[in-house]
Structures are given as structure tokens and as C-alpha cells.
């Protein structure tokens, strides 16, 4: 840097300020300090070699990007990144792939075939669902999906 | 400092509550608060709560009532103070516990406590008074912000180098996010929330709490905060408040930056400041345009990069002409007849009042000549090299005389040009400053003029003519050299220049054009 006006020694007040700032420098704010708690994937910053990508891919926070992700990835994002934009985008992508969320079982269901019964209150048939405890897709025959448990908010 | 009145009265009351030398709490209140707070933290963190803990909250309010906390304003305030202190202590205990080596586990623990407290505050603010009673809610919020600020200052002053920013930063951020949720009750008080936060941040500015400066910068540059302050609030109602916070930041940095020897802690804060400025330049150029004067007034003249970020801002609706078009007729640009907006009262900055009076009468009568000969002594404040001049007065004088000159020329039915700016009281002053000042003074004077060279507007045009005129009329080569050394031309050496290909191209062509001239 240049100091065309010449250096001027710091006044006592500024020296004191510098001391306090220097102390604060050694306990800087952490990225997680200003974020909602991440229960499952807390931030854990560490130095990674520069030849690994350092920033997420361009446009990776768009609905189009989420639609290209695998179903299992979407389920992972949905269950492990609660309350984030990522979760919202994952839910949106799952809905687009005809998955429906069951608010009582807290699991995603997809029709395996046309339901045997459809009426005002429910539909019944064979469904594929994602079991987040066993972490895999399962099939359920003769399942009754009551519409009162259907999560049908418009995600737009 | 602002006297504790007006909108900030409740913040100041909150601070006073904490900072009063001997506040004695009624017997048992500490224990009651401790008990209630623990209870709330448990409820908040236990499963199966309503999404925003509303149900648990009404039960909890009942409990607070039973314990008499809500009986008086004074008791409520004390409850908040004690709660803040208890939360902060919990955080200190966790952070200092050396047996707990894994920091990724400690922080969430702290967050559990702090977030619970924040939710309690936001619910109390939201539900205080009737749904439509905004006054009660705002008073309570101001009071709480004042209490947290008071606790921070107290903690900062007593622990000095052991002070931790984290608990306060988290309380401020999380409470801000909660209060900006999309709910009608909160939307009705949003402007007040923003105002309260700005006042609080101003009170906690780095020169008052240097140990909080990094968290403070993060707070004022938080994306939601900037968005609310500069974008979402209609009629730019929060712009001046936000400008004040940036001025606080620049003022704090100034003594460290002017010596150009940047220690690591300063470099860190400086880099953060540049990033904020880049964001503002990209997203809110009109904001930087409107407040450039106040910013450049407090940024040391040697901070070229910082000032260039501010001075290169121009309104997004404007299309800048390519400055390298041969025979570009600047005089023909329609924009140069419009004055830029300036949100600083410059004539108030010109003091003492007698000097302002003499200045105005000289501009009117072009006499007496003694005004010119005394000009230098009016600007000079010491004989110490490096701090000889009152820079703010110099800046104000230059801009004031310039705007008066433009008005004077217009009144005659003319427009500023190389010939119309000459031979006037205004040019007398500028020529006198050019000749009569020493190197330091002239440097500051030219800087004050260069600060007006921005996007096409009447000031840019007038001052560029004035620069060229002074250059042509200069009687010594020293003056010409000093004009050419103008820092604006060192632009391309800096990193931000390379941030966008168009900008880089622009500077490459500046470099090329300079090369052509010298070879």
C-alpha cells in the first residue's frame, strides 16, 4: 500500500482498539454461528487441496438441477437437510416425479399401478414407498392412502 | 452521541439498565429466571412442539405470570437482562471447557440455548399487547435489543481480550431472521424492526466495541439484512440508516488504513469491507451513487481501491458511453445537464459560520481578495506533516464551490464549458488553492475534485473541465505532475479490476491508450 501523507503513529485509543480486534481475530465468527442448527450435517470446514472443486456447481440450487438428481439423493436431502432451500427443492423434484408425501408415516409414496379403489376419502392399491429407517424402497400391496394425510400444499 | 431520546429511548434505557453501577435485583429473581429459562430451553428443544412453539409458549407465559415476572415493566426488563447473561455464561462455559476438544459438538450446544432464548424473545414481542398494537411490540423489542447491547458492552469492557463475539452475534442474527418471517403481524412492524436494529448496530459500532468488529461486519452484511435495508423496504426508507453503518465501518478502519501497513486483523476486516462494497456495487449501485460523498469523506485518500469501488457506481438505467471512442463529444451527452443526488448537507459541513459567510459573499462579489489569501489558513489545522488539513472542510468547500459555479453559469443562460468556467469567483478559489497550497494540501484538494469524476452528470462534467483548465493554466510543472498522478489512473493495478471480463477489457484499453501517448 501507499501512504502519500506519510505514516502517523496510532493514537492510544486506536492501539487499544487494535488489541481488542487482534484478540477477536483469534476467535472469528464461524459460518454456522449465523445459520439454523444442522442436526445431521454440521459444517466442518477444513482445507481441501485446490485441485478439488471448492464451490458447488453453477446453478446447483435450481429446480432443474434437482430434477436431474437420483431419487435416493432427493430422499437424503429431504430427511437430512431439514428446513433448507435444498429440502424444498428436493420435495419439489420428488413431487414432479409423482411421489406423494404421507404426513402420518412421514414417508414418500408412489403408485405402483392404478389404484384399485379411488373415492373422496382415500385410494387403495399397490405402492412403492421409501423407508427412511431401513433406507430403501419397499413395495406395499393393498395400502390405503387416506387423502387427509396427503401433503398437498402448492410448492410454488 | 445521540441524546437518549426519540426512537432510541428504549434502546438506551435497556443499555442503562445493564450498565447502571448498582442494580439490585429483588431477592429470588435470579433463581426464578434461571428456573424459567431452563424450563423454556427444555420445552423448546423437546420434540413434538408446534412449528413455532406457540402452544408451549402460552403455557410458559402462564408460568411466567404465576412467578410474577410479567407484573411490572421493570421485572420484565430484569428478566431479559438476567436471561441474556445466563445464556452468555452458558456459552462461555462451553467454549472454555478444554476437555471438550470437539468444537463441532460444542457450538450446537451453545446454539440450543441461544436459539431457545431468541424464540422466547420473538414470541414475547409478537404477542405483547393486542394484535394491532404495534407500539407495545416495538417498545419491547427496543428494550430487549438495548439490554443485549448493554450486556455486550459490559462484557466487552470487563473481559477485554477474552471477549467472545459468538453469543451476541447469534442472538442478533437469529432474532432478526425470526422477526423477518413472512407473517402479517411482523410485516406490520418491519420498518420499526429495521430501525431498531440499525440504532443498535450503530451503538455497537467497531469504535465502541472493537472486539465485536468481525461479528458486527457479518451482521451488517448479512444477506437478509442488506436485502431488507436496501431492496424490500419501499421508498428507500432505510438507505440513510444503512449508509450510517458503512460510515461507522470506514471511520473505524481509517486510522489503520492510512498508514498502509496492514496487520493481519486489519487486513481481514479490510478484505471483508471490500467484499461488501463489491456486493453493493453489483446489486445496489444507486445506493453507492447517492451516498458516495459521505463515504469518500471518511475513507483515507490513499485507499484508492475502496474509493474506486464507490466512485465507479452508476445508475443501472444509464448506458455509459465508451470513453475511448475517438472524438467523443462529452458536451453532447444529455446526462451532463443533470446534477447527481447528494445525501449530505454540504453547506452545514462548511464551518465556522463566519467562514461560510465570507465564502458566500466572495462568491457573490468576487471580493475582498483577502478571502483568497486567508483561504489556506482556514483549511489548515496543524503544522504536523500528514495531518495539516481539515479534509472534510476541503471536500465540502470543493463540492460547494463547484455546485455554486454550475448554478452561476446556468443562471447566465450558459452551460459549463472550458470557456464559461473561467474568470469567476469560483475559479479564483480553485486556482488559488492550486497555487497557494503546499504539496499535501494540493494532493487533498485534487483528491476532493477527483472524487467528483464519476458517471456522466453535471458535477463530473464541471470538475473534469476544471481539472483540464487548472492543468492548462498551471504555472509550474509540479502542479501538472500532481494532477496526472491522480490516483484514479492507477486503477488497473488492482485486483477488483479483473473481476469481470468487460471491466478488464476496459482497463486494458486504458493501459494501451496510455502506452500510445508515452511512446
Residues B426-440: pLDDT tens digits? Answer: 999 999 999 999 999
CB interface of B with A, residues 229-258, below 8 Å = 252, 255-258
CB pairs under 8 A between A and B: 126
A8 touches chain B (CB under 8 A): yes
- Chain B's closest residue to A4, CA to CA, is B302
| Measured distance CA(A85)–CA(B263) in Å, rounded | 38
A51 touches chain B (CB under 8 A): no
End-to-end Cα spacing for chain A: 50
Does A1 sit within 8 Å of B265, measured CB to CB? no
Q: Which residues of B touch A42 (CB under 8 A)?
A: 104, 107-108
Residue A18 C-alpha, separation from nearest chain B C-alpha, in angstroms: 7
Q: Which residue ranges of chain B lie beneath pLDDT 70? A: 1-7, 21-22, 47-52, 98-104, 484-519
Q: Which residue ranges of chain A lie beneath pLDDT 70? A: 1-2, 155-156
Q: Which residues of A touch B268 (CB under 8 A)?
A: 25, 28
Q: Which residues of A touch B272 (CB under 8 A)?
A: none
Does A10 sit within 8 Å of B255, measured CB to CB? yes
DSSP A99-156: -EEETTTTEEEEESS--SEE-SSEEEEEEEEEETTTTEEEEEEEEEEEGGGB------
Contact B245, B227 (CB under 8 A): no
Residue B381 CB partners (closer than 8 Å, separation 6+): B387, B388, B389, B390
**How much is the pTM?**
0.89
Query: A76 is written with which cell numbers?
Result: 437424503
Nearest to B169 among A10, A18, A33 (CB): A33
Q: What are phi and psi of B323, to 5 degrees?
A: -70, -5
Q: Which residues of A touch B165 (CB under 8 A)?
A: 24, 27, 29
Nearest to A5 among B166, B222, B440 (CB): B440
Does B164 sit within 8 Å of A7, measured CB to CB? no
Nearest to B260 among A2, A16, A42 (CB): A2
Does B108 sit within 8 Å of A23, measured CB to CB? no
Does A1 sit within 8 Å of B262, measured CB to CB? yes
A18 touches chain B (CB under 8 A): yes
Does B263 sit within 8 Å of A18, measured CB to CB? yes
pLDDT for res B476: 76
Q: What is the complex's ipTM, to 2 decimals? A: 0.87
B513 touches chain A (CB under 8 A): no
A139 touches chain B (CB under 8 A): no
DSSP B210-229: GGGHHHHHHHHT-HHHHIII
Q: Encode pLDDT of B182-197 as tens digits.
A: 999 999 999 999 999 9
Residue A113 C-alpha, separation from nearest chain B C-alpha, in angstroms: 35
| Measured distance CA(B424)–CA(B430) in Å, rounded | 10
Q: Which residues of B touch A25 (CB under 8 A)?
A: 214, 264-265, 268
B101 touches chain A (CB under 8 A): no
pLDDT for res B361: 96
Residue A25 CB partners (closer than 8 Å, separation 6+): B214, B264, B265, B268
A33 touches chain B (CB under 8 A): yes
pLDDT for res B402: 97
Mean pLDDT of chain A: 93
A29 touches chain B (CB under 8 A): yes
DSSP A28-41: PPPGGGGS---SSS
Query: B502 is written with which cell numbers?
Result: 468487460
Helices B190-203 & B166-179, crossing angle to 10 degrees? 160
B48: three-class secondary structure by DSSP? coil
Listed residue (B179, B181, B209) closest to B194, CA to CA: B179
CB interface of B with A, residues 113-132, below 8 Å = 115
Does B169 sit within 8 Å of A1, measured CB to CB? no
Does B387 sit within 8 Å of A37, measured CB to CB? no
Residue B161 C-alpha, separation from nearest chain A C-alpha, in angstroms: 5
Q: What is the largest CA-CA distance in chain A?
A: 87
Most A CBs within 10 Å, among B52, B111, B307, to test the A interface? B111
Helices B391-411 & B370-379, crossing angle to 10 degrees? 140
Contact A37, B114 (CB under 8 A): no
Q: Which residues of B touch A3 (CB under 8 A)?
A: 258-260, 302
| Measured distance CA(A91)–CA(A86) in Å, rounded | 9
Nearest to A29 among B161, B215, B264 (CB): B215
Amino acid at each position: 500500500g501507499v501512504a502519500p501523507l506519510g505514516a502517523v503513529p496510532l493514537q492510544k485509543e486506536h492501539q487499544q482498539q487494535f488489541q481488542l480486534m487482534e484478540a477477536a481475530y483469534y476467535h472469528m465468527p464461524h459460518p454456522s454461528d449465523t445459520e439454523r442448527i444442522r442436526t445431521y450435517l454440521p459444517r466442518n470446514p477444513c482445507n481441501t487441496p485446490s485441485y478439488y472443486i471448492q464451490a458447488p456447481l453453477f446453478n446447483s440450487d435450481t429446480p432443474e438441477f434437482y430434477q436431474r438428481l437420483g431419487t435416493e439423493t432427493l430422499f437424503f436431502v429431504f430427511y437430512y437437510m431439514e428446513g433448507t432451500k435444498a429440502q424444498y427443492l428436493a420435495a419439489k423434484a420428488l413431487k414432479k416425479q409423482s411421489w406423494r408425501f404421507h404426513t402420518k408415516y412421514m414417508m414418500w409414496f408412489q403408485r405402483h399401478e392404478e389404484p384399485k379403489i379411488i373415492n373422496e376419502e382415500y385410494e387403495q392399491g399397490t405402492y412403492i414407498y421409501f423407508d427412511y429407517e431401513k433406507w430403501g424402497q419397499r413395495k406395499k400391496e393393498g395400502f390405503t392412502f387416506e387423502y387427509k394425510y396427503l401433503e398437498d400444499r402448492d410448492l410454488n | 452521541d445521540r441524546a437518549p431520546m426519540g426512537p432510541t429511548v428504549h434502546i438506551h434505557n435497556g443499555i442503562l439498565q445493564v450498565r447502571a453501577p448498582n442494580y439490585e435485583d429483588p431477592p429470588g429473581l435470579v433463581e426464578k429466571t434461571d428456573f424459567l429459562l431452563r424450563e423454556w430451553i427444555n420445552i423448546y428443544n423437546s420434540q413434538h412442539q408446534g412449528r413455532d412453539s406457540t402452544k408451549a409458549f402460552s403455557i410458559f407465559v402462564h408460568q411466567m405470570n404465576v412467578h410474577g415476572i410479567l407484573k411490572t415493566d421493570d421485572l420484565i426488563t430484569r428478566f431479559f437482562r438476567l436471561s441474556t447473561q445466563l445464556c452468555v455464561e452458558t456459552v462461555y462455559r462451553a467454549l472454555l471447557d478444554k476437555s471438550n476438544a470437539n468444537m463441532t459438538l460444542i457450538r450446537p450446544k451453545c446454539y440450543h440455548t441461544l436459539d431457545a432464548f431468541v424464540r422466547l424473545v420473538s414470541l414475547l414481542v409478537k404477542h405483547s399487547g393486542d394484535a394491532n398494537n404495534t407500539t407495545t411490540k416495538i417498545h419491547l423489542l427496543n428494550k430487549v435489543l438495548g439490554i443485549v447491547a448493554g450486556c455486550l458492552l459490559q462484557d466487552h469492557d470487563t473481559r477485554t481480550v477474552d471477549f467472545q463475539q459468538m453469543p451476541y452475534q447469534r442472538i442478533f442474527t437469529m432474532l432478526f431472521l425470526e422477526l423477518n418471517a413472512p407473517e402479517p403481524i411482523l410485516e406490520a412492524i418491519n420498518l420499526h424492526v429495521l430501525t431498531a436494529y440499525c440504532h443498535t448496530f450503530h451503538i455497537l459500532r467497531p469504535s465502541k466495541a472493537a472486539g465485536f468488529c468481525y461479528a458486527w461486519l457479518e451482521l451488517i452484511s448479512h444477506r437478509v439484512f442488506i436485502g431488507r435495508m436496501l431492496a424490500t423496504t419501499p421508498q428507500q426508507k432505510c438507505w440513510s440508516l444503512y449508509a450510517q453503518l458503512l460510515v461507522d465501518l470506514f471511520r473505524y478502519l481509517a486510522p489503520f488504513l492510512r498508514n498502509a501497513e496492514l496487520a493481519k486483523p486489519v487486513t481481514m476486516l479490510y478484505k471483508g469491507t471490500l467484499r461488501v462494497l463489491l456486493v453493493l456495487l453489483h446489486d445496489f449501485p444507486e445506493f453507492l451513487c447517492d451516498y458516495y460523498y459521505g463515504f469518500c469523506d471518511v475513507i483515507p485518500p490513499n485507499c484508492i481501491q475502496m474509493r474506486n469501488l464507490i466512485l465507479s457506481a452508476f445508475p443501472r438505467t444509464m448506458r455509459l458511453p465508451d470513453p475511448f471512442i475517438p472524438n467523443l463529444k462529452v458536451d453532447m451527452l444529455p446526462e451532463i445537464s443533470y446534477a447527481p443526488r447528494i445525501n449530505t448537507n454540504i453547506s452545514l459541513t462548511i464551518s465556522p459560520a463566519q467562514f461560510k459567510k465570507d465564502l458566500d459573499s466572495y462568491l457573490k462579489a468576487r471580493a475582498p481578495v483577502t478571502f483568497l489569501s486567508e483561504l489556506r489558513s482556514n483549511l489548515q489545522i496543524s503544522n504536523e506533516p500528514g495531518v495539516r488539513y481539515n479534509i472534510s472542510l476541503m471536500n465540502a468547500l470543493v463540492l460547494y464551490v463547484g455546485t455554486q459555479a454550475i448554478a452561476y453559469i446556468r443562471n447566465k443562460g450558459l452551460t459549463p464549458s472550458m470557456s464559461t468556467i473561467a474568470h469567476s469567483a469560483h475559479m479564483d478559489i480553485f486556482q488559488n488553492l492550486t497555487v497557494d497550497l503546499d504539496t499535501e494540501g494540493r494532493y487533498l484538494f485534487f483528491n476532493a475534485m477527483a472524487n467528483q469524476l464519476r458517471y456522466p452528470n453535471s458535477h463530473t462534467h464541471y470538475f473534469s473541465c476544471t481539472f483540464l483548465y487548472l492543468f492548462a493554466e498551471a504555472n509550474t510543472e509540479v502542479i501538472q505532475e500532481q494532477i496526472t498522478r491522480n490516483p484514479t489512473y492507477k486503477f488497473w493495478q488492482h485486483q477488483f479490476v479483473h473481476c469481470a471480463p468487460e471491466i478488464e477489457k476496459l482497463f486494458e484499453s486504458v493501459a494501451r491508450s496510455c502506452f500510445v501517448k508515452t511512446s
